[in-house]
Structure 1
Amino acid sequence: MLTAAGDDEPDLVVGQDPPTEAATPRVLTIISHVMEKLVARNEWLAKQTKGFGKSLEAFHGVRAPSISIGKYLDRIYKYTKCSPACFVVGYVYIDRLAHKHPGSLVVSTNVHRLLVTCVMIASKILDDV
């Protein structure tokens, strides 16, 4: 195998891009995919039932933000320096909230606000020293 580094540096295969420190952790990609599927299903349910519960009303916006969930999580990760564990715990908080209030749906008008709030709370618990 041809390498581009010396003996004291990590081996890099010629022709491969070096890993970047700012790369998005895979767990964020997975969480964003799961959240997008959840929102799509809940949007469909909201149309079928003509609305949703009032317990998440404080998080509703007038319209859905133009930024995707994946890009939103990337921005939070990039600018807040939260550990990937905060995003996992934040997702768990949203899941618990959805189970506690089954009549309320996580939809496109509230998902971004729920995400930033839950990640912030998880960061305070996990990352603050």
Structure 2
Amino acid sequence: MESPSRVELPTGYEDVDIYILADLIGDMMERLLAHNDKIPLSPEALTRFHSRSAPGISIIDYLRRIVKFTNVEKTCLLITLHYIDQICARIPLFTLSSLTAHRFVITSIAISSKALSDAIRPNTLYAKVGGIPVSELNTLEREFLRMIDWRLTCTREVLQEYYVNLVRTHSKGSYIIVGTQSSSSVGSDSDMDYEMMSSRPSTPTTTGASGTGTIAGPSRHRDFGPHETSTILIDTTTLSPEPPQPPTVEQNMAFAAFQQFGGKG
């Protein structure tokens, strides 16, 4: 049944209301976290981004808070999805879950704003808004840059494809992009979760506008097993994943402390 309150959104992500964009990203991420939270945590998968317990604020409300208090630009908000895909492809053991998402998001936005925005704000602001000490944010920044190999940019076409698919797969089917397709066809796709999409499609899904081969597209998908990490959507054939490493002494000690204090994977 068609949603009677479907909202028409502009064609380009640059023109959409930033709070709607935050809700679209948060909606997708909540489904992603629900899937990845089922994956047991192992010592070698423990990272600096892990909290001992999930924060008391939902990822959607966290994104809204960031938008409200940092005046983040839309490009910097949307490119977080690209960073998630890039890092998950390069470091297969990394999982975006309820234990890692909040720290990852605030770090991503702090870094992308410095790299892509004219209005640069200090880490003291991002740390306060994100609810973490500034010293911890500084450490997370260094780790983030290492994980993504300092590759902080992508094309406008990549971001646009993420935007289109966020609208297309919104869990409530509440939105439609003006002039793209009928509301009935979008409604039929709105139940298609990102959980169902392959994180490593065999061929890139492109619009023909970009030469990167990393454009998101919902044309290839499969069911994930209970212990498979779901990322968002990219072709990873151009990336060089880091080989899995055994847990370090630090990771083993941190994992033991994590379990002692009641952390759950």
Query: Structure 1-normalised TM-score?
Result: 0.72
Deviations 1:23-69 (A, max 9, x none): 7532111110111111111112x1xxx32473561110110000000
Aligned-partner Cα distance in 2 for 1:53–1:62: 13
Matching residue of 1:104:
94
Residue number in structure 2 paired with 1:86: 76
| Alignment length (residue pairs) | 103
Confirm whether residue 26 of structure 1 aligns to residue 20 of structure 2: yes
Contact 2:18/2:74 (<8 A) preserved: no
Residue 118 (str. 1) matches residue 112 (str. 2): no
Q: 1:14 maps to which residue? A: none
**Bigger CA radius of gyration:** 1
The equivalent of 1:38 in structure 2 is 32
Distance 1:120 1:53, change over 3 A: farther
Bigger shift: 71-80 or 56-65? 56-65
Q: CA deviation at 1:77?
A: 0.6
Task: Note the C-alpha offset of 1:125.
Answer: 1.3
State, as a whole percentage, how many aligned pairs show the same letter.
Answer: 33
What is the CA-CA distance between 1:108 and the residue it aligns to?
0.6
Would the alpha carbon gap of residues 61 and 104 (structure 1) be closer, same or farther in structure 2, given more than 3 Å must change? same
Task: Pick from 51, 56, 61 the counterpart of residue 71 of structure 1.
Answer: 61
Q: What RMSD, in angstroms, separates the aligned Cα atoms of the two structures?
A: 1.8
Cα distance in structure 2, aligned partners of 1:125 and 1:53 = 32
Which structure 2 residue ranges, 5 or more long, are not aligned? 1-16, 120-265
Displacement of 1:98: 1.2
The TM-score with structure 2 as length reference comes to: 0.36
Query: What residue is the counterpart of 1:4 in the other structure?
Result: none
Say which structure is richer in helix.
Answer: 1
Match of 1:62 among 49, 52, 58: 52
1: CA distance, partners of 2:91 / 2:58: 25
Cα–Cα, structure 1 residues 118 and 53, in superposed 2: closer, same or farther, change >3 Å? farther
Instruction: Give the AA of the match of 2:36.
Output: N
Runs of 4+ in 1 over 3 A off after TM superposition: 52-56
